[in-house]
A and B are shown apart, each in its own frame.
Chain A
């Protein structure tokens, strides 16, 4: 009876060890290019000579930036060059930065995925850029520029979730997204203050405002469109815009605080 129990126990350990050895090890070698799903196809979508530009502003006093305490990782304390939260980046004329502006409706056809690789850097224990856009099937390369461990945890609603460790400085990871999604969050579970947002779109008509709050979406075909502006704290706003061939339309989004 005793021996039977011991053998049962040994068997359980063996099965568990087998499962463990076959477990996902999300620590890739220096660079991993996973199989990408169908990229953004080719053909159908057109470009034009119209453009939409403008400004995103904030009305009312934006909350002050808070200082992030990075004490949980001494490397971050040493490497960080920017320790303020970046929820509200306000420039001159109340321009609001880190706003993702894109054409939400009115685009037809499919557009090929650009071959250009976008870089999402983890430097100074912050994601750079904080907000950016990407096309379906386009490659984003996530780089660890810090001499500490990061994990890149994407928590999409539509695309597959992933969580990968980058323990060594210089490690890179290439990813693509097969489904449009606005916005797809990234976070680091090691350093809870780190996050980024990417807008994945099936077309190239999007932009992210910098500190001045301006945006420029060019090469649009003439037509009627719905434009949406997304901010991580202030939500979204939409506006209708019509552009003729060669025309530049100006649009202003104003987010109110308080």
Chain B
């Protein structure tokens, strides 16, 4: 029966339905990040003054006809967040029952803890009138949660188990270091971007690609400093990503599992820089500004994906050990039964 098969504990082999479920959750998470970006871009963060209720209504009973103006964005964001929360509960339970890898189970429960903290941060930021520290933390944790879900999708994928673990080790220390450094740099850039958004510094430097007509700010304020740091960060990210992609294409051209995400990452970074410039030219047009947030999230998880694939062999040792332990356990059980 299908239900029994889905819940039957397996070894390290992935469950395709679980993998599809996690992909659905990842898609919902990206949608949630985009919805959150729309809330900030439209200035709707406080259009629903109470939490967790909405104008006194229980969240799920708020009339759709009253979702007007800023409420459409803020309450819509809360509804999507609730769906993501429920899906994450399902994820944690499903993984705990089907995956034998203890670290994957822990990641599932970590995702659940993260989404609870994230919801709490969202409520606190409304109650305390959007203090930048809480708003930035809310944005930062959203990205970490998204990366965690995408990582779980990778760990439960067929490719992770049946294709990539058969490849010879890379033995490339340069790539290993680049692949560890790149997502850290991208995440730092995301945090600077979130700080810029939540301190209204998005147009502190009003022109692009120049800076007040030159290459350097003529005057320094907090907003200009944060904005300038974000632009420098973009240059650094682009440089490191291009270097890594070039290194992969030159030294590991036969490894499609690395070349494809490397090319995708490079393309996304270029698109992201273009969106950043367009955001300034359009004076923070809502759609462009929000797209910049969403593409930033995609850049981040693509880098994480590439990092995991570059370091696949780290996980192979651990999974092989657990698979062997599972088999030994079966042998012992069988022997005892025979005795």
Q: Is the CB of B53 within 8 A of A27?
A: yes
Which residues in chain A, 1-33, are within 8 Å of chain B measured between CB atoms?
A: 2, 5, 9, 12-13, 16, 19-20, 23-27
Q: Does residue A114 face the partner (Cβ distance < 8 Å to B)?
A: no
**Binary contact track A43-64/B, C-beta < 8 Å → 1, others 0:** 0000000000000000000000
A40: Cβ under 8 A from any B Cβ = no
Judge whether A27 and B96 touch: CB under 8 Å.
Answer: no
Chain B's nearest CB lies how many Å from the CB of A227? 31
Binary CB contact string for chain A from 163 to 205 against chain B (1 if under 8 A, 0 otherwise) = 1110100000000000000000000111110000000000000
B42 adjacent to chain A (CB < 8 Å): yes
The CA-CA distance from A12 to B69 in the complex, in Å, is: 34
Determine how close the nearest CB of chain A comes to the CB of B321; give it in whole angstroms.
19
What residues of A have a CB within 8 angstroms of the CB of B70 in the complex? 72, 189-192
Interface positions of B from 107 to 132, Cβ below 8 Å from A: 109, 112-113, 116, 119-120, 123, 127, 129
Q: Which of B55, B109, B116 has the most CB of A within 10 A?
A: B55
The distance from the CB of B100 to the nearest CB of chain A, in whole angstroms, is 14
The verdict on B27 contacting chain A, using a C-beta distance below 8 Å, is: no
Tell me whether A189 and B56 are in contact (CB under 8 A). no
Known: A23-B127, A27-B56, A189-B43. A164 touches B69 (CB 8 A): no
Q: Which residue of chain A has its CB nearest to the CB of B44?
A: A189
Contact with B49, one of A16, A19, A26, A75 (Cβ below 8 angstroms): A26
Residues of B within 8 A of A73 (CB): 68-69
B59-76 interface (Cβ within 8 A of A): 66, 68-72, 74
* B120–A16 touching, CB < 8 Å: yes
Which of B43, B44, B66, B92 is within 8 Å of A167, CB to CB?
Answer: B66
CA distance A220 to B186 in the complex (A): 62
Interface residues of A in 142-176 (CB under 8 A from B): 148-149, 151, 153, 161, 163-165, 167
Interface size on B, residues (CB 8 A): 32
B164 at interface, CB cutoff 8 A: no
Say yes or no: B68 contacts A148, CB within 8 Å.
yes
- Chain B positions within 8 Å of A190 at CB level: 44, 47, 68-71
| Nearest A residue to B113, CB-CB | A12
B52 within 8 A of A: yes
**B50 contacts chain A at the CB level, 8 A cutoff:** yes
Residue of B nearest to A155 (CB): B129
Residues in A with CB closer than 8 Å to B96 are 2, 5
Tell me whether A72 and B72 are in contact in the complex, defined as CB-CB below 8 angstroms, given that A24-B50, A27-B53 are known contacts: yes
A27: B residues at CB distance < 8 A = 49-50, 53, 55-56
Complex interface: chain A residues within 8 A of B109 (CB): 5, 9
A109 is an interface residue with CB less than 8 A from chain B? no
Q: Which residues of B contact A2 (CB under 8 A)?
A: 96
- For the complex, is A74 an interface residue (Cβ under 8 Å from B)? yes
Which of these, A9, A72, A151, A167, contacts B46 with CB under 8 Å? A151
Enumerate chain A residues within 8 angstroms of B48, measured Cβ to Cβ: 151, 165
Distance A94 CA – B113 CA, assembled complex (angstroms)? 62
Give complex CA distance A161, B130 in Å.
11
Interface check B45, CB cutoff 8 A: yes
CA distance A77 to B138 in the complex (A): 35
Q: Is B51 an interface residue (CB 8 A)?
A: yes
Q: Is A74 within 8 A of B68, CB to CB? A: yes
Q: Which of B45, B55, B123 contacts A165 (CB 8 A)?
A: B55
Chain A contacts of B55 at CB under 8 A?
Answer: 27, 149, 165, 167
Contact A23 B51 (CB under 8 A): yes
A27-B56, A163-B46 as given contacts; A20 in contact with B129, CB under 8 Å: no
CA distance A161 to B190 in the complex (A): 29
- Contact across chains for A151 and B47 when beta carbons are under 8 A apart: yes
Instruction: Give the distance to chain A from B281, nearest Cβ to Cβ, in Å.
Output: 21
Given contacts A23-B123, A165-B56, A191-B70, contact A153 B46 (CB under 8 A): yes
The 8 A CB mask of A61-98 against B (1 = contact, 0 = none) is 00000000000111110000000000000000000000
Q: Which of B43, B47, B92 has the most CB of A within 10 A?
A: B47
A contact residues around B113 at 8 Å (CB): 12
Complex interface: chain B residues within 8 A of A148 (CB): 66, 68
B50 touches A72 (CB 8 A): no
Q: Which residues of A contact B43 (CB under 8 A)?
A: 189, 192
The smallest beta-carbon distance between B80 and chain A, in angstroms, is 18
Chain A hits for B50, CB < 8 A: 23-27, 165
Q: Which 10 A-B pairs have the closest CB atoms?
A: A189-B47, A73-B68, A190-B69, A26-B49, A27-B56, A167-B55, A163-B49, A72-B69, A189-B46, A165-B49
Q: 9 extra interchain contacts, Cβ-Cβ under 8 A, other than A20-B51, A167-B55, A192-B70? A: A27-B53, A72-B69, A72-B70, A72-B72, A74-B68, A149-B71, A151-B47, A161-B129, A189-B44
Between-chain CB contacts (< 8 Å), 27 pairs: A9-B92, A9-B109, A9-B112, A12-B113, A13-B116, A16-B116, A20-B52, A25-B50, A25-B56, A27-B49, A27-B50, A72-B72, A75-B68, A148-B66, A148-B68, A149-B55, A153-B49, A165-B48, A165-B50, A167-B55, A188-B47, A189-B46, A189-B70, A190-B44, A190-B70, A191-B69, A192-B43
